[in-house]
């Protein structure tokens, strides 16, 4: 069993194509992992029968020579993606019985390429959170330091925990302000947020539409490349989808970084960043230099204002998007004698505290008399943040930063909302600018928790992002496995 679990996505795909293993045995090994690691709470829904039938279908194609790029690979899906006939709750009580009648574009792309679904993965409610603690059915536990009950990060906490615990070979996530990169960093895996527009948003439960972007959470950079190859693509059903063909990312794995310029922004080593993270960040800079990159100090002067701008823009868009949960067309309804009372009780009972806070903030900043002072101001600052990056990309190819200011923290240690928001301080700026970013594990801190480093590329330069991340991955040689992982 453990031999099967030891294979990463690219290796498993090779073994399947060489008929050394079958998708059925691989899928069964992962279903067993799911049950062995069920105390982590990563899965909200397991679709065993569907997984088995998809695996058998894949095995036929592997035998008759019509295998597709992800043929027979068992993956988990964040519960933000609508999956036809499979419950999709966004970890919210208001959608606890919602069964979509259609499939999201990204997941359909994955099934079209032969992937096998294992189940749906927990996340923060409506992807709003950085610890997975806002999930209606309770938090997920990070498989690292399993006796201590650490946070897997969020919002894609279930996705990151499942990949780290080896209960999924890979998983999908969504990232609005760091929801792929931060949990990937906390769980010692790779998480890639593509350029805004690379992956279709159609069929993904909407949070903040100008920021939401889907991406892969995987064990390695090459796994991320192979998975994003299938997830990305133009989609007429998403008006912000980019009509640009993405080159095959697997062709860029070994291009190296000789002569490339790496920007080191001085604003990203702020007070409060853990010493261990700063140390390994400096080491990462040296690794890239050793591989032939030129290191250039840069400045992104408006970095400090990214988080405040984000906490106006994202709640504003969320308050508008979540207006659809009215107890009329889908989702839970709280019965009442009048229509207004029905709306208020449905929403009051259906949403958790963090979601309510954001709806309230969003409604306030969009309300008459405050719109210019808050929302318009934040949009102006967003332009300045984007221009900061544009200026820096005239001088460098990639930007290297820590992924998070700290490693994972213990669950249940009640943090006030603002302290929680600070988790995303290094991931939010690239989100506001729509840029692609990747977090990959490069080492452990003193307590044995993984540390993630982030690379940010210019718009649509996922190929270069993959080449650079691969160099960093080889130099770091991170090969630790979480103590709570399936064996």
Partner 1 sequence: MPNKDTIVDVPTVNKIARLCRLDIPEVNKESLTNDLNNILGFVAQLDEVDTSNVEPLASVTGHKLPLRSDDVNDGNIEGLVLKNAPESSSGFFVVPKVIE
- State which of residues 35, 53, 290, 328 lies at the interface with partner 1 (CB under 8 A): 328
- Residue with Cβ nearer partner 1 (360 or 474): 360
Q: Provide the strand spans (E) within 253-367.
A: 261-265, 294-298
Q: What are phi and psi of 481, to 5 degrees?
A: -120, 140
Q: Is 367 in the site for partner 1 (CB under 8 A)?
A: yes
- State which of residues 296, 342, 444, 481 lies at the interface with partner 1 (CB under 8 A): 342
The least CB distance from residue 144 to partner 1, in Å, is 30
Site for partner 1 in 424-463 (CB under 8 A): 432-434
The Cα 91–Cα 132 span in angstroms is 10
- Residue with Cβ nearer partner 1 (111 or 364): 364
- State which of residues 323, 391, 395, 447 lies at the interface with partner 1 (CB under 8 A): 323
Site for partner 1 in 118-157 (CB under 8 A): none
Site for partner 1 in 77-96 (CB under 8 A): none
- State which of residues 30, 287, 351, 426 lies at the interface with partner 1 (CB under 8 A): 351
Site for partner 1 in 370-389 (CB under 8 A): 373-374, 376-384, 386
282's CB contacts (< 8 A; 6+ apart) are: none
Side-by-side strand order, sheet with 43-46: 43-46, 116-121, 74-78, 171-175, 213-218, 190-193, 437-444, 450-457, 398-402, 261-265, 294-298
- State which of residues 242, 264, 440, 465 lies at the interface with partner 1 (CB under 8 A): 242
Instruction: Please name which of 148, 234, 153, 253 lies closest in space to residue 483, comparing C-alpha atoms.
Output: 148
The Cα 252–Cα 248 span in angstroms is 8
The least CB distance from residue 230 to partner 1, in Å, is 22
Q: Is 417 in the site for partner 1 (CB under 8 A)?
A: yes
The secondary structure of residue 273, as a DSSP letter, is: S
- Residue with Cβ nearer partner 1 (181 or 333): 333
Q: Is 250 in the site for partner 1 (CB under 8 A)?
A: no
Q: Which two tokens stand for residue 39?
A: 């105390």
Site for partner 1 in 297-316 (CB under 8 A): 302, 304-305, 307-309, 311-312
Site for partner 1 in 4-63 (CB under 8 A): none
- Residue with Cβ nearer partner 1 (24 or 422): 422
Q: Is 324 in the site for partner 1 (CB under 8 A)?
A: no
35, 83, 413 from 419: Cα distances, Å: 34, 34, 12
- State which of residues 18, 64, 101, 245 lies at the interface with partner 1 (CB under 8 A): 101
- Residue 112 belongs to what H/E stretch? helix 105-112
**How many helices and strands in the chain, by DSSP H and E?**
16, 11
Site for partner 1 in 150-209 (CB under 8 A): 196-197
Q: Which residues are catalytic?
A: 78, 155, 179
The least CB distance from residue 423 to partner 1, in Å, is 14
The least CB distance from residue 322 to partner 1, in Å, is 9
The least CB distance from residue 19 to partner 1, in Å, is 40
Strands 437-444 and 190-193, by their bridges, are: antiparallel
Peptide bond into 155 cis (omega under 30): yes
207's CB contacts (< 8 A; 6+ apart) are: 80, 126, 127, 128, 174, 176, 314, 317, 318, 321
398-435 core/surface letters (b: 16 or more CB in 10 A; e: else): bbbbbbbbbbbbebeeebeeeebbebbbbbbbbbbbbb
Q: Number of residues in contact with partner 1, rule: CB under 8 A?
A: 72
- State which of residues 153, 331, 450, 452 lies at the interface with partner 1 (CB under 8 A): 331
The least CB distance from residue 185 to partner 1, in Å, is 23
Q: Is 215 in the site for partner 1 (CB under 8 A)?
A: no
């Amino acid at each position: 069993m453990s031999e099967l679990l030891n294979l990463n996505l690219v290796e498993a795909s090779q073994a399947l194509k060489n008929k050394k293993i079958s998708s059925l045995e691989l899928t069964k090994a992962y279903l067993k992992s799911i049950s062995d690691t069920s105390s982590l709470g990563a899965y909200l829904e397991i679709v065993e029968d569907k997984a088995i039938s998809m695996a058998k279908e894949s095995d036929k194609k592997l035998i008759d020579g019509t295998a597709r790029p992800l043929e027979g690979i068992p993956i988990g899906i964040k519960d933000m993606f609508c999956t036809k006939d499979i419950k999709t709750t966004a970890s919210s009580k208001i959608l606890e019985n919602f069964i979509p009648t259609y499939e999201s574009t990204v997941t359909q792309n994955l099934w079209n390429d032969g992937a096998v679904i294992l189940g749906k993965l927990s996340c923060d409610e409506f992807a709003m959170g950085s610890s997975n603690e806002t999930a209606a059915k309770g938090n997920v536990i990070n498989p690292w330091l399993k006796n201590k009950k650490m946070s897997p990060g969020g919002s894609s906490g279930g996705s990151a925990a499942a990949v780290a615990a080896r209960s999924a070979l890979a998983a999908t996530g969504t990232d609005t302000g760091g929801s792929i990169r931060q949990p990937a960093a906390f769980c010692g895996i790779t998480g890639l947020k593509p350029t805004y527009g690379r992956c279709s948003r159609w069929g993904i439960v909407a949070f903040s539409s100008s920021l939401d972007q889907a991406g892969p959470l995987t064990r390695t950079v090459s796994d991320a490349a192979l998975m994003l190859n299938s997830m990305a693509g133009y989609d007429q059903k998403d008006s912000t989808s980019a009509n640009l063909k993405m080159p095959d990312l697997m062709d860029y794995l070994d291009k190296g970084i000789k002569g490339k310029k790496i920007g080191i922004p001085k604003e990203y080593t702020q007070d409060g960043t853990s010493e261990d993270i700063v140390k390994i960040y400096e080491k990462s800079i040296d690794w890239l230099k050793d591989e032939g990159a030129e290191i250039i100090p840069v400045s992104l002067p408006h970095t400090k204002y990214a988080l405040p701008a984000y906490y106006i823009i994202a709640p504003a868009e969320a308050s508008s998007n979540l207006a659809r949960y009215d107890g009329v067309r889908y989702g839970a309804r709280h019965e009442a004698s009048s229509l207004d009372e029905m709306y208020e009780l449905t929403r009051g009972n259906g949403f958790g505290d963090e979601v309510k806070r954001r709806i309230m903030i969003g409604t306030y900043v969009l309300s008459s008399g405050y719109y210019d002072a808050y929302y318009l101001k934040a949009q102006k600052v967003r332009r300045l943040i984007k221009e900061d990056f544009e200026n820096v990309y005239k001088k460098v190819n990639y930007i290297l930063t820590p992924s998070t200011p700290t490693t994972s923290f213990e669950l249940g240690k009640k943090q006030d909302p603002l302290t929680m928001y600070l988790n995303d301080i290094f991931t939010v700026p690239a989100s506001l600018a729509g840029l692609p970013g990747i977090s990959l594990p490069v080492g452990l801190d003193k307590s044995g928790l993984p540390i993630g480093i982030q690379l940010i590329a210019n718009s649509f330069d996922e190929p270069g992002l993959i080449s650079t991340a691969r160099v960093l991955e080889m130099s770091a040689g991170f090969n630790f496995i979480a103590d709570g992982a399936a064996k």
